[in-house]
Structure 1
C-alpha cells in the first residue's frame, strides 16, 4: 500500500525540506505492508486524515511516551471504510466510520489503517468524509466548552481561528448558550460568521488590557493558543474562582507543544502541571480556577459532534477552504501549517475518493 513514512524526528516547520533531492524526514512509499490486525481491531480503507497538535508532537519526538520506531506512518484521525471487521458484532464490512488511534498517533497517512473497534463511530450520511476526519478537534472543543460554560456566561476563546477554537466559538454560542463570546484572531470575518460577538486582533491589541473586559469580567477563558503565560494575564479580565471564573487550558501549561523528550523533562512538566492545579485550588478567593483539559470521553463526544455537524449547527472550517492531496509535498505542507500555529481551520489530507 502507499503510505507516508517519517524517517527521523523533525523540528517544525523549518526542517521539512528535501536534502540533496532526498526526503530526509518524510517520504511517500509505495510498498508498505498493510497493517496486521490485533484482537478487537478492524482494517479500514482510509478516505481522509486530519492533523492535530498531537501529530506534531509525535513527529517532533517531543513526548518520550509517544516515541515510535522509525520509519512510522504519521496521523491518527481518519474517516474510512471497513474492509475487514475482524469478527466485530458492532460494525460490518462496508461501514464508513470516523475513528482515532487514541494515544498512539500513527497509521493514518496511508491507504489502509488498523483501528480499535472501541474508537470507531459511524459517519452520519449528511457529513462528508473529509469533514468526518476533521471532526477530531471539535471533540476537544466539546469537552472544553460543555464541561465549563453555563448558559448566560461570558466567554473568551484564545485562538479562535484554529481547529479547536473555531469549533469552540460555535459550541459556546449555539449549544452552551453563552451570552457573549469574544475571541482572539486575525480572521475577523471568519470568526464572526461562526458566532463570535467580538474579535480581537492579537497582533494589535492585548486582550487583557481592554477596559471593557476589566470592568465586565469573563466567566470562562478557553486557551486554544498557549505559549505566552496567558493564565498569568487572565486574572485581569477573568472572575476569581470564588466568583466562578475558570481558565481552561487546552494547550499544556503555557506551551502549545511542550518539550517532554526525556523522562526528566516529562517529570518536570507533570510537576509544573500538578503544582499549578493545586495552587489555584488554594487561591480561589483571588485567582481564577485553572483547569487543564485532558483527553476523555472521546467516543461520546465524537458522536455528539458528528450529530451537530449533520444538523448543521456545527461547521468545520478547512484551512484554505479545501483539503490537501495525498503526496509527500501535500503532507509536508499539512505538517507545516499545523506546526506554524497559524492554520485557519482544520488541516485535512484526502487519501482516496470513493
Structure 2
C-alpha cells in the first residue's frame, strides 16, 4: 500500500511517499481502508521530533492521527464492528499512521462514523472532538451558565469547542481575526474579540475556564488573570506537567523535567488561586461515539477549510503550519 512516512525527524524534510506492507489486524484490531485523513498540527510536531522525549517512536514511521474509512477485516476478538462498517478514529499513540491506504486500529479507539456527514467531514473530527470533550466535559465538568474563554475560535479545536460549550449551556468568549468574526458568531460565540485590534484581558473578567492554545508565555499569564478565584486554565500546548507525565507512565527523570517546565505556570496559577492543567488528549472510542450522537442530532457541524488529494499530503501539512486554517484540513485518500 502507499503511505507517507517520516524517514528522519526534521523541520525541513518532507514526508516520503513510499510503498509499504499492508498492516495485519491483530485479535483486538480491525483493518480499515482509509477514505480520508484529518491533518493536525500534532502531525507536524511529530515530524519535527518535538515529542520524541515523551513519545519515542521508531523511524521510519507512517504519520497521521485522524481517519475515516471502511472496515475490511476484523480480528478474532472483535465484538463491536463488522466488515463494511463505516468508522472513524483518532488512533492511539504508538499506533499512528493514517496517511496511508490502510490501518489496523484497536477496537477501543474506534467509533461508527456519523451517518449524516461525509468521510471527509468525519476525518476532520476525532482529534479536535476528543480534545474538546476531554477538556470541557471530562476535565472541567463545564456547567450551564459558566463562562469559558476559548482561544483561536476559528481553528480546528476552536470551531468544535465553541459548539460543544454552547451545547453545555456556557457563555463563550473567543478570539479570532477580523475575517473570521462571522464564522465564530455563527457557531455560537457570545463575545468575539478581534485579537489584532483588541487585548482580551481588557474585555474579559471572572471566567470559570480558559481553553488555552497559544504558546506565547505572556498570553498564558494574561489568561490566568482573567479567571475568577477557583477558575481553571486547561492548556493544549503546554508546558507539560508531572500529572501528565504520571498519566502516560513516563520515568522519574522525565517527571522531573515536566516539573521544571511547568513550575512557573503552576506558581502563577497558585498565586491567583486558580488551577493550571495540561491536556494531551488520548484516543477513546466510547467518547467518540458520544460525539457521533451530537453530530447526528445536528448539535455540532464539522468545519472544513480545504481538502487535498492524497498525493499533496505535504502541501496539506504546510498549509496547516501557516496557522491560518479555518476549521480543519483533510486529505482524500480513497
Mapped pair 1:343 → 2:325: yes
Deviation at 1:332, TM superposition (A): 1.0
Mapped pair 1:333 → 2:298: no
For 1:1-354, list aligned pairs within 5 A: 1-11=1-11, 15=12, 25-29=14-18, 31-64=19-52, 65-87=54-76, 88-104=78-94, 106-136=96-126, 137-147=128-138, 148=140, 149-173=142-166, 175-178=167-170, 180-186=171-177, 187-210=180-203, 213-214=204-205, 217-241=206-230, 245-253=231-239, 269-272=257-260, 275=263, 279=267, 283=271, 286-296=272-282, 298-319=284-305, 322-327=306-311, 330-352=312-334
RMSD of equivalent CA atoms: 2.6
Higher strand proportion (structure 1 or 2): 2
Q: Which runs of 5+ in 2 are unaligned?
A: 241-250
Q: Which runs of 5+ in 1 are unaligned?
A: 16-23, 255-262
Structure 2 Cα separation of the partners of residues 129 and 335 of structure 1? 19
Deviation at 1:197, TM superposition (A): 1.5
Query: What is the count of residue pairs matched by the alignment?
Result: 318
Distance 1:266 1:52, change over 3 A: farther
Deviation at 1:266, TM superposition (A): 5.0
Deviations 1:273-304 (A, max 9, x none): 66468647854xx3322222243572232111
Deviation at 1:163, TM superposition (A): 0.8
Q: Is the 8 A contact 2:239 2:262 kept in 1?
A: no
Distance 1:231 1:25, change over 3 A: closer
1:258 is matched with none
Structure 2 Cα separation of the partners of residues 270 and 76 of structure 1? 24
Say which is worse superposed, 116-125 or 222-231, in terms of deviation. Answer: 222-231
Deviation at 1:27, TM superposition (A): 2.6
Q: Is the 8 A contact 1:208 1:234 kept in 2?
A: yes
Distance 1:253 1:230, change over 3 A: farther
Q: Normalising by structure 2, what TM-score?
A: 0.86
